[in-house]
Amino acid sequence: MKLPFKTVALIGKRKTPEIAQPLLRLVELLSTKGIAVVVDDMTAEHLNKQNFNVMQLDAMGGRVDLAIVLGGDGTMLNIARTLAPFGIPLVGVNQGRLGFLTDISLDTMQQTIVAMLNGDFVIEQRMFLLTRVLRDGVEVFNSLAFNEVVLHRGHMSGMIEFEVRIDGEYLYLQRADGLIVATPTGSTAYALSAGGPIIHPSLDLIALVPVCPHTLSNRPIVVKSESLLEILPHRVADVRVHCDSHAHFDLQKNDRVVVSRYTKPACLLHPIGYSYYRTLREKLLWNKTL
């Protein structure tokens, strides 16, 4: 990570015209600091041409030192996946509902970002999962996931049946509505609603959480992040694999879903004083008096 940040990208939630004013305030702020501003092409549609360059997300590698993302957690998930190969650090400004990943408020945005530009921030690395689908030994699909990979039945099918192997060793044959493979970041998303554990993002772990298993003894299990996970569907009528509810792929008989840790992490920058436990208290309403 290069300091000071000389070129900063501003990326806003798509199809949200109301982000224009906060974005323009950031453009002005960064420009007064002598920082070159880049805006992604879809965000630029909401702005009148100002003192910034327009660039596609996949062209930012090696040309941008920092990306500031305005939106909710869904926006951050999308941007993090796209910029993952480039190692660009990310700052999140919350304009959504929960804000597990976008922890800076619009009210304090400018003073907080000024402090961070001066080096007052903490660095947090979070893992991605790489999912590949192999058909007759040939890769037919691959995608990154920041939150989770989900094997799930379709709308028209009943329970699905699948086998799980870890590092080549048979774990179980399970009948369920599906299986969630979650990162620590994703442990507070779909996996949490399915009864999975909350995992601190600094831990290198992966959670396997069954969705409505037929047998109650089938419980969530946590494994090391270096594990190679293989999911082999035994019944494939209307079965699909989802990556962060972003990329989807319909499975066929004898397909193998292989999930492993991606080689590069996401680099999130937080203001000084950031606390994951405080985020849990606030977002999960643990600080409410009963």
Active site residues: 73
Angle at alpha carbon of residue 112, lines to 85 and 289, rounded to 5°: 100
In single-letter form, the type of residue at position 60 comes to M
Contacts of 230 (CB under 8 A, 6+ apart): 164, 165, 166, 168, 256, 257, 258, 259
How many contiguous H segments (helices) and E segments (strands) does the chain have? 6, 20
Select from 34, 32, 26, 21 the least CA-distant residue to 9.
26
Decide: 209 and 195 in contact? Cβ < 8 Å.
yes
Residue 79, CB half-sphere, CA atoms under 13 Å: how many? 33
Cα 273 from Cα 1, distance rounded (Å): 21
CA dihedral 110, 114, 115, 116 (to 10 degrees): 100
Cα 64 from Cα 35, distance rounded (Å): 11
SS3 label, residue 77:
helix
The values of phi and psi at residue 17, to 5°, are -60, -25
| Residue 170, beta-bridge partner list | 165
